[in-house]
Structure 1
Amino acid sequence: MARSTTLTEDAYRLLRRDILRGHWKPQEPLRMHQLSDRYGMGQSPLREALSRLQAERLVVLMPLRGFTVAPLTPVEMWDAINFRILLEAEALRLSIRDGDDAWESEIVAALHALVLQARRLEDSPSEADQDAFEARHHAFHHALIAGCKSPRMLEQFDRLYAECERYRIPNMAQGAKRDVQAEHRAIADATLARDFAKASALLAQHYRDTAVRVEAGFLRTA
């Protein structure tokens, strides 16, 4: 049982990573023989992983066609972004109200780690550096709202984060230059100052600015 669980977790982690990074393209069929060849495992853990990814809206089950990668559209993106803003604003409000010293310390540490890794990524944009940056980016945004003390909110945050990353990552280098780390610092500063109105406004603008850039990418390729 433990071995089966480990294989399923490995399949889920690897498939999820490849979908977020764009190895498997939107609406591309996910054929079992191709997945088995790439990940070196049987169909059972892969099917379980695909079912989990379907619940996260990263894959869809098509009648008579099996699993395919979920499509990317401006409508879907804005729906995810707007719901994410609503969810994280409330989680942020609760965190600012109830967060303790440990919560504040985690924000400071996560921001520092993210800024350091962003600098490394500029110097040596390797795949490993990109993976490290994405992990620290997630950790920072998670730290902001971790003080809400709601496992359901944090679970939904993870799902929405993954949905939005599929749009953000391929468009990171496009459009006008932004000082994203300055945006992160401003959000953290307002949060640590317990200024909910400012922190939530900055966070919402941070997400919307990314969505506008991604939407422009859709228009360029239309």
Structure 2
Amino acid sequence: MTETARDDDASLADRAYRLIQDDILNGVFSPGEPLRLAALKDRYGLSFSPLREALTRLSGDRLTELASLRGFRVASVSLDEMWDLIGIRTLVESEALRRAIAGGDVDWEARVVASFHALSKAVEKHEAVEGQFDKALEDRHQAFHHALISACGSPSLLHIAGQLYTRTERYRRPTLSGELRGAGGPRDVMKEHADLMDATLKRDANLAVERLAEHYRRTGDLIEVGLRRAAAAAE
């Protein structure tokens, strides 16, 4: 196989990975649903080889699982796993945030401010249109949280934080539907982000970490409402 052919195979596998990951995170595929290669081939227009590689990579991300003799299926979800993920994510990002506050320079501060501004504009646009899932908004949201910890100086921490972000997104995105608004009580998410940014830029590590943890806890409370409603509806 030529180097160009290998590059093409890797590119197709990356594309398959992103497409299937997005569909899992957005709830197109339900927890426990079989992921048949033939059906995926029809959906994405890709051959079995990159699809199989993508499913294997997603298994490493805990988004798919291999059922004995039955191929891959979407990984299950649970309330315990959700809170475990939020707890570990809070732990990892709190350490990364402390390191960023201690070592971040003026360029890092500028990234934080710029990412918050971009997020604010995306929220304004989203609220004006009143759509459902907004990929541009979610990209800005991820960029803001990444900017906060981007100066931590540890590629390993950033990698782990990225993995945890993806896994918690699977739980969070269903809560973006209108039917769950206000379910966890009155909440101004942009103010939570603004308060988190202010504490970070003031270099108050203890307050910043406290606000980060509270932000994720409140998200967890909302997710729990959604999971319990889904379980009750299934009974």
Deviates more, 1:204-213 or 1:61-70: 61-70
Q: Which amino acid aligns with 1:197?
A: N
Q: Match of 1:33? A: 38
Question: Structure 2 counterpart of 1:161, which letter?
Answer: Y
Which of residues 213, 216, 222 is equivalent to 2:225?
216
Task: Give the secondary-structure state (helix, strand or coil) at the position aligned to 1:148.
Answer: coil
Partner of 1:203 in structure 2? Answer: 212
1:106 equivalenced with 2:115 (yes/no): no
Q: 2:24 aligns with which of 8, 12, 19?
A: 19
> What is the Cα deviation at residue 2 of structure 1?
1.6
**2:91 matched residue in structure 1:** 86
**Residue 202 of structure 1: CA displacement?**
0.4
Q: Using the alignment, how far apart are the partners of 2:72 and 2:146 within structure 1?
A: 30
Shift of 1:177: 4.1
Distance in 1, matches of 2:160 and 2:65, equals 18
Structure-1-length-normalised TM-score: 0.96
**1:130-149 correspondence to structure 2 within 5 Å:** 130-149=134-153
Q: How far apart, in 2, do the equivalents of 1:158 and 1:31 lie?
A: 27
Match of 1:55 in 2: 60
SS in 1 for 2:82: helix
Counterpart of 2:195 (choices 186, 190, 201) is 186
CA RMSD, 1 decimal: 1.2
The number of residue pairs the alignment matches comes to 221
Correspondence 1:3 to 2:12:
no
Inter-partner Cα distance in structure 1 for 2:130 and 2:9: 35
* Dislocated runs of 4+, deviation >6 Å: none
Determine the structure 2 residue equivalent to 1:170: 174
Cα separation, 1, equivalents of 2:119 and 2:135: 12
Task: Please tell me whether Structure 1 or Structure 2 has the larger radius of gyration of its CA atoms.
Answer: 2
AA in 1 matched with 2:159 = E
**Corresponding residue of 1:124:** 129
Q: Kindly provide the amino acid, as one letter, of the partner of residue 146 in structure 1.
A: S
Deviation of 1:9 after TM superposition, in Å, equals: 1.1
Deviation of 1:126 (Å): 4.3
Deviation larger for 57-66 or 190-199: 57-66
Counterpart check, 1:159 vs 2:163: yes
Deviation string for 1:105-124 (max 9, x for gaps)?
Answer: 10001000001001111111
Q: Deviations over 1:108-149 (max 9, x none)?
A: 01000001001111111446x701011111100000101112
Shift of 1:219: 2.2
Q: Give the letter aligned to residue 56 of structure 1.
A: D
Gaps of 5+ in 1: none
